[in-house]
Amino acid sequence: MGKVFVFEHPLIQHKLTYIRDKSTGTKEFRELVDEISTLMAFEITRDLPLQEIEVETPVQLAKTNVLAGKKMAIVPILRAGIGMVDGILKLIPAAKVGHIGLYRDPETLQPVEYYFKMPSDVQERELIVVDPMLATGGSAIEAVNSLKKRGAVKIRFMCIIAAPEGVEALQKAHPDVDIYIAALDEKLNEKGYIVPGLGDAGDRLFGTK
Ligand code: URA
């Protein structure tokens, strides 16, 4: 079963309060999502492998560590996932970025892929799929299906707010995918919104309605 990590860092929790607030406007909302994503990237990279090298300090030779150069890619689910990308790239600037576009078929209510563009070596990369909200889990499950179909094997999922229903569905469909979240909320309402949540993340990021 995939593990669930809730990032309880005070800075993340503080900023989360303000993106939940309905009086927070588009500019501030976007900045806060960006900052939360950077802080989450700091937490998610704790297990990156290091390699020892030697450098000459002004005093003497020192054995010290650098990143071992693990190849990573960030994969936002369109459109709201885009709001998390720049914040993560601030800490992992060499990561490639792939995009997955999904829409919900009005008849079957199932997510359907309309856009998929990945780095050519997606099979070798460690992938972080990002979407601010994990609601029913439908889009996250389909995004991971799409990546696995193209040979991806190392996949993690990161969102800001998750509903228990979405976590359970994603864990069941993809037990190999660990889930990283800033807040695990109460439930989904009858319209599929996370409660208490923050409303529609895409609309709040891009100022649409
Ligand atoms: N997507 C959103 O943007 N918000 C929700 O509450 C659920 C899904």
Do 36 and 87 meet the contact criterion of CB atoms below 8 Å apart?
yes
Helix ranges (DSSP H) in the chain: 10-20, 26-44, 82-89, 138-149, 164-173, 201-206
For residue 143, the model assigns a pLDDT of 98
Beta-bridge partners for 178: 156
Helix (H) or strand (E) holding 118: none
* Nearest atom of ligand 1 to the alpha carbon of 194: 6
Residue 64, annotated ligand binder?
Answer: no
- What number is the average pLDDT over the span 142-150? 97
Classify burial at 45, counting beta carbons within 10 Å of its beta carbon; exposed 0-12, middle 13-18, buried 19 or more.
Answer: middle
* Nearest atom of ligand 1 to the alpha carbon of 192: 7
SS3 call for 128: strand
The answer, yes or no, to whether residue 165 has pLDDT greater than 80, is yes
Ligand 1 in contact with 197 (CB < 6 A)? yes
Query: Would you place residue 50 in the very low, low, confident or very high pLDDT band (cuts 50, 70, 90)?
Result: very high
- What number is the average pLDDT over the span 19-31? 98
pLDDT tens digits along 185-202: 999 999 999 999 999 999
Q: Which of 20-34, 79-93, 107-121 has the lowest mean pLDDT?
A: 107-121
What interface predicted TM-score (ipTM) does this complex get? 0.96
Cα atoms in the 13 Å half-sphere on the side-chain side of 195? 8
Do 170 and 139 meet the contact criterion of CB atoms below 8 Å apart?
no
The answer, yes or no, to whether residue 107 has pLDDT greater than 90, is no
For residue 108, the model assigns a pLDDT of 82
Q: What is the DSSP letter of 103?
A: E
The answer, yes or no, to whether residue 69 has pLDDT greater than 90, is no
Give the Å distance between the CA of 96 and the centre of ligand 1. Answer: 26
Give the Å distance between the CA of 107 and the centre of ligand 1. Answer: 20
CA dist., res. 44 & res. 98, Å (int): 18
